[in-house]
Structure 1
Amino acid sequence: MLHDYFETYVRNYRYYKGGAWCYEDGCLYRGLIALYEATGDTSWIDHLVRLVSGQIDAEGRLIGYEMEEFNIDNILPGRALVFLHGLTGKTAWLDAAAALARQLETHPRTGSDVYWHKLRYPHQIWLDGLYMALPFRMEYARAISSPDMVDEVLRQFSAALDLTYDRDADLYRHGYDEARQQPWADASSGLSRAHWGRSIGWLAMAFVDIIENLPHGPARLDLAGRSSALASRLLDLRTADHRWLQVIDRPDESRNYPESSATAMFSYFLQKLGRLGGPNSYAQAGRAALRSLVSEELRPAADGTLKLHNICCVAGLGGFNGRYRDGTVEYYLSEEIRPDDIKGVGPLMMAYAETLLDRRSSAPQSTHPHDEIRLAAAKR
């Protein structure tokens, strides 16, 4: 069922913003790459090349992309360019990605040396942005053999984790305002007010995608410990049917609901963490979440077509389209829910691909007794 659903979805997909380079399309590209890597089915690559090529003009420029906007979201689809360069050896793909790398060279940063989320969100770090920019920078650094760039990614990621961590809740907050200027930011900590599930989902995916690109050593050990701690906390926050809520730690809120994009992201995170050597309980929890998500939310819409339901369309902080998003529980529960939004379908592809990889794996976990993730989990 899932294969047919994904094939129909991507065949009928229309660019999220009319063809302009954007992170939403990048979510689909990550899903297509994951499905190809799990299956070897080149039809997924055919779709990827078709769609990415449609966003590059005859001069090799990214359509609709303006570096001067310093929008961190625009970096995410660049991972498809780096991947296609590695797959095909064609330099044109990496040349197109170079524009995004140049943005990150001059992108504004906080005093702690972490990228601002966007030029129009000054002095702010959002969890979303960690996923949008840092795995790309890591993969681009490997493509051009730049160890200094890898080190910078790790410094930024570690600093951002420290700044967004809410010790009392043992979770990460959606946003941090270094300047303490935003009404959504706590005057003391600079943190936003609530724990939005998908923002933590973006962070969780950044964890495993960065860890995957690291050799064994102190840096990987540090991130393994932090990711294992997050995984353990997520297991505590599951609903009775193995999903996660829109406001992840507020089951007491009557309007709260199991949100599909966060659930798909956590399924991917937990399964991949297990595949990278973490406890099998992580992977089992991720697979259980995927089964529940498909059973509960992949169902016909009013027009009879199969759709993934209960996806939060968008959420953010600060002013947007004439509205101030204050980061409260009530705000997150007020945002539009849209079936089949790519921010849910892309992670669903990725979570399903992890399940396929698990089925293909023939190596028992006992063959990895020294893996940092397992050691980190065992210490908890």
Structure 2
Amino acid sequence: MALSIISRNQGVLASSSDTSAILQAGITQKAFTRLIAQYPYVNSSEEIAQYLKRSVDSVVGPVSNATKDLTYAMDRLSSGNGLIDLYKETRNETYRNAYIALRGSVNLNSRNAEDGLWYFVYPNWSYLDGMYSLAPFYAYYTTLLDPHNATAIADLMHQLDLLWTHCAAANGTGLLVHGYDDSKTAVWADPQTGASPHVWGRSLGWYTMALVDTLEILPRKTHPSDWALLRARFRQLAGALRTAADPASGAWWQLLDQPGRAGNYIESSGSAMFVYSLLKGVRLGYLDSGVPAYTDVATRAYSYITDTFVVNNGNGTLGYNGTVSVCSLNSTASYEYYVGQPISYNSVLGSAAFVLASLEYESFVAREK
């Protein structure tokens, strides 16, 4: 699938005006970084490494000015770890300038009355989506380059905590809705919490991956209480996801709070993200109780995803189907809106998530042998 992504020239920022493509570059970089780490000696590793560099290079110019960075959503931060890694490898100052600008843009980012970061330009709106880009970068930058900055780690935890608190689903499932409006004035905002009305699978996937990836980066010894809280939250969410898996397919709905409702469907990007998160949580020991239940759910979902959404294109490449294009809170955020958004064939947001899920699945299978 990684080579198929390369064949389609995906995950490379072609234009600084394409604000949606910056997240596609970021998740491609994360997937390819993990792939090379897991399979450093396969024949394609050098090709994948060169493409990874090409993806990182493509974002350097657009993100190297902290003020200009604010013209992008928080998705801009998804390339931060790749920029740091390439600077460590090459000592090329252009990479350093870019990740310093990204870090500076966090300080410049607009915030609501509770000091929560706006996801983009919409006043006082915070999305789960942004945490996959923010949290692992914030943790990586701080622990590696600014380890005595306790304020930064406190801010990181605060952002995750605000979303956890405001976005708790009203139906008691333990899931989180898409986002919240701190001013409670949006057409979709709950009058008490500001929360949006629905649990969108991919936004929850971003947040779940943010938790497990940040747990891997944040040093447990130097941040024991923060690390313990992140693990507790991840465990709670993992349990809720295990319960929310569709009994028939084993995977997850586009809207997790409306299972089986007419128009709803099993969605491939969020499902892959949950498989990745659960299996990674087991591998790293974050889910150290009830492990068989988590691996059973995740491997069953992975089999469904592979059988249902992976497409043999007949030309040596694989396609990936079933990924919803874009769902934004800059909408009615209604049920009809979420299930009415188009499906994007070969969306790299889905296929790169599938690469990540596949790496965790293959690691699990190897351990079981």
Would the TM-score normalized by the shorter structure come out above 0.5?
yes
Give a deviation string over 1:192-220, Cα, whole Å, max 9, x none.
11111111111100110111122332222
Q: 1:159 is matched with which residue: 159, 162, 166?
A: 162
Separation in structure 2 between the aligned mates of residue 145 and residue 175 of structure 1, nearest angstrom: 30
Q: 1:230 is matched with which residue: 237, 255, 265?
A: 237
Q: Does 1:252 align with 2:260?
A: yes
* Contact kept? 1:34, 1:349, Cα under 8 Å: no
For residues 339-378 of structure 1, the aligned pairs below 5 Å read 339-359=345-365
1:378 alignment counterpart: none
Separation in structure 1 between the aligned mates of residue 115 and residue 85 of structure 2, nearest angstrom: 27
For residues 306-317 of structure 1, the aligned pairs below 5 Å read 306-317=318-329
The code of the aligned residue for 2:34 comes to A
Give a deviation string over 1:160-183, Cα, whole Å, max 9, x none.
211222253321110100111110
* Contact kept? 2:60, 2:95, Cα under 8 Å: no
Q: Point out the more displaced range, 274-283 or 227-236.
A: 274-283
2:49 alignment counterpart: 45
1:145 alignment counterpart: 146
The code of the aligned residue for 2:310 comes to L
Does the residue aligned with 1:77 lie in a helix, a strand or coil?
A: helix
Separation in structure 2 between the aligned mates of residue 67 and residue 299 of structure 1, nearest angstrom: 36
Does the residue aligned with 1:116 lie in a helix, a strand or coil?
A: coil
For residues 152-301 of structure 1, the aligned pairs below 5 Å read 152-167=155-170, 168-216=172-220, 217-239=224-246, 240-277=248-285, 278-279=287-288, 280-281=291-292, 282-300=294-312
Report the CA distance between 1:70 and its aligned residue: 5.6
1:7 alignment counterpart: 3
* Contact kept? 1:72, 1:133, Cα under 8 Å: yes
1:321 alignment counterpart: none
Q: Does 1:101 align with 2:103?
A: yes
2:33 alignment counterpart: 33
Q: Does 1:84 align with 2:68?
A: no
2:122 alignment counterpart: 121
* Contact kept? 1:56, 1:63, Cα under 8 Å: no
TM-score, L = length of structure 2 = 0.87
Report the CA distance between 1:300 and its aligned residue: 4.0
* Contact kept? 1:275, 1:283, Cα under 8 Å: no
Give a deviation string over 1:218-259, Cα, whole Å, max 9, x none.
222111111111111111111222210101131231211110
* Contact kept? 2:309, 2:322, Cα under 8 Å: yes
Separation in structure 2 between the aligned mates of residue 292 and residue 143 of structure 1, nearest angstrom: 39
The code of the aligned residue for 1:82 comes to I
Does the residue aligned with 2:358 lie in a helix, a strand or coil?
A: helix
* Contact kept? 1:170, 1:233, Cα under 8 Å: yes
Q: Point out the more displaced range, 65-74 or 248-257.
A: 65-74
Does the residue aligned with 1:307 lie in a helix, a strand or coil?
A: strand
For residues 58-73 of structure 1, the aligned pairs below 5 Å read 62=64, 66-69=68-71, 71-73=73-75
The code of the aligned residue for 2:68 comes to E
Give a deviation string over 1:299-350, Cα, whole Å, max 9, x none.
24699963111100110112xxxxxx21121110000101110110111111
Q: Does 1:136 align with 2:137?
A: yes
Separation in structure 2 between the aligned mates of residue 351 and residue 14 of structure 1, nearest angstrom: 18
For the aligned residue pairs, the C-alpha RMSD in angstroms reads 2.6
Separation in structure 1 between the aligned mates of residue 67 and residue 15 of structure 2, nearest angstrom: 10
Q: How has the CA–CA distance of structure 1 residues 63 and 221 changed in structure 2, closer, same or farther, with 3 Å as cutoff? A: closer
Q: How has the CA–CA distance of structure 1 residues 227 and 15 changed in structure 2, closer, same or farther, with 3 Å as cutoff? A: closer
Structure 2 gaps, min length 5:
none
Separation in structure 1 between the aligned mates of residue 13 and residue 94 of structure 2, nearest angstrom: 24
Q: Does 1:333 align with 2:333?
A: no
* Contact kept? 1:38, 1:356, Cα under 8 Å: no
The code of the aligned residue for 1:10 comes to I
Separation in structure 2 between the aligned mates of residue 230 and residue 108 of structure 1, nearest angstrom: 28
* Contact kept? 2:11, 2:348, Cα under 8 Å: no
